[in-house]
Amino acid sequence: MPVNIVLPFEPLQGTFGDLIFSLDQINLIQNVAAGRDTSFSRIQAIKLLQTANFPDKVHDLQLLMENEQESPEIRHLAATGLYKVNTPEAVEILISNSQIQDERVLTGVMKGLGRIGNESALEAISRVRNSATGLAALQAEFAAVLISHRLGLAGNDLKIPDDSEFLQLPSDAARSVLVTKASEREAEVCLQSLSTQPFGIEYTEDSLYQIQCGQNNWMLVFNREFTHQDAVQTLQSRKAFPGVIATKNEETSSYSTAFLLLTSPAEQPNILNILIHRSTGEQIFSGTALVEGSKAEFSIHSIPRPGAFPVDIEGTFEGGKVELKTALSGTVVQQRRHPTKVIQ
């Protein structure tokens, strides 16, 4: 269980993430979220709005996000809440707010559009790419990449790193990465966690793979669209978003989408580019796959960055199933960044 704030009142039923409130409680939470009542924390009220059975929460969140008198924290949380609601109405609201001035709020809007937006969002995203600066522009760029890969659209291609850029695995400090098929129970826990973190794709329930790498526990989950026998042929024909890697947190016993697996056909015939990005857009791992019929033989390596560790993963992918030949990782990370000490 995660650590949660004590609720100001008992819900009718449910636990965090799945709460059901009475009408009076709903009114109170809406009033606190809107700042009309101060009987408990506004941030908590907004978080409850995101997770509970509110009939019209999209509009509550919209009002908060659009109100320029509110703090960037409140507005950013509202933007995040909107994409987690994941309805066509929420997409429309995010698109119509792609001209918000505040960089933090606009960053939240772009992140949301990347995750739940469709082709109709690309024009608004493109405007932000061209007009905004800083993080909002970067998130707009990645939002366009995500939508284009998810829908297999032309344009918005990713930079393909050169082999020479990969982190080298030291031969004397490598350990095995354990990859096993997930149990039914663990797969269920993972898919339940991912259901609250929309990325516009549907996951398969059949082949989930647990990856254990040092203290990290991850789960490889494929997009249902790429689990059929001809999946590799589809990957060869267009850009794609074939799956995600979720990280398991021991404290919460839940999963969170950590890495997005993106592919594109390479210029050379029968080769696929594999690009693995953080959910926030940074490129982490990369590789290629050689296609032979319905099978793709892949290799994946790390890209240098603070906190990165080298990996050497080789295997095959066919019909939504993965078989590994090599799975090694380094034990030491690249130097992390150091925050600035503040003189007290």
Binding residues for another protein, rule: CB under 8 A, are 1-7, 16-17, 41-44, 47, 50-51, 73, 76-77, 80-81, 84, 104, 107-108, 111, 135, 139, 196-197, 213-216, 246-247, 249-252, 254, 256-258, 278-280, 305-307, 309, 329, 331-333, 336-342, 344
* Distance, CA of 95 to CA of 114 (rounded, Å): 11
CA 150 to chain centre: 13
How far apart are CB 47 and another protein at their closest, in Å?
6
How far apart are CB 33 and another protein at their closest, in Å?
13
Strand 254-265 and strand 174-176: the pairing is unpaired
Say which amino acid occupies 25: Q
How does DSSP classify residue 324?
E
Cβ neighbours of 80 (radius 10 Å): 18
How far apart are CB 15 and another protein at their closest, in Å?
9
- In this structure, are residues 308 and 302 in contact, taking their beta carbons and an 8 Å threshold? yes
Q: Which is nearer to another protein, 118 or 197 (CB)?
A: 197
How far apart are CB 206 and another protein at their closest, in Å?
24
Q: Which is nearer to another protein, 134 or 155 (CB)?
A: 134
Q: Which is nearer to another protein, 268 or 340 (CB)?
A: 340
- In this structure, are residues 189 and 253 in contact, taking their beta carbons and an 8 Å threshold? yes
Helices in 67-213 by DSSP H: which ranges? 72-85, 88-96, 103-116, 122-131, 134-151, 184-194
- φ, ψ of residue 77 in degrees (nearest 5): -60, -40
How far apart are CB 2 and another protein at their closest, in Å?
4
Q: Which is nearer to another protein, 193 or 273 (CB)?
A: 193
Q: Which is nearer to another protein, 69 or 344 (CB)?
A: 344
* Distance, CA of 272 to CA of 250 (rounded, Å): 34
Produce one character per residue of 11-34: b if its CB has 16 or more CB atoms within 10 Å, e if not. beeeeeeebebeeebbebbbebbb
Q: Which is nearer to another protein, 229 or 331 (CB)?
A: 331
How far apart are CB 258 and another protein at their closest, in Å?
4
- φ, ψ of residue 222 in degrees (nearest 5): -95, 145
How far apart are CB 312 and another protein at their closest, in Å?
15
- Look up tokens 């249902």; give the residue: 224
Q: Which is nearer to another protein, 6 or 154 (CB)?
A: 6
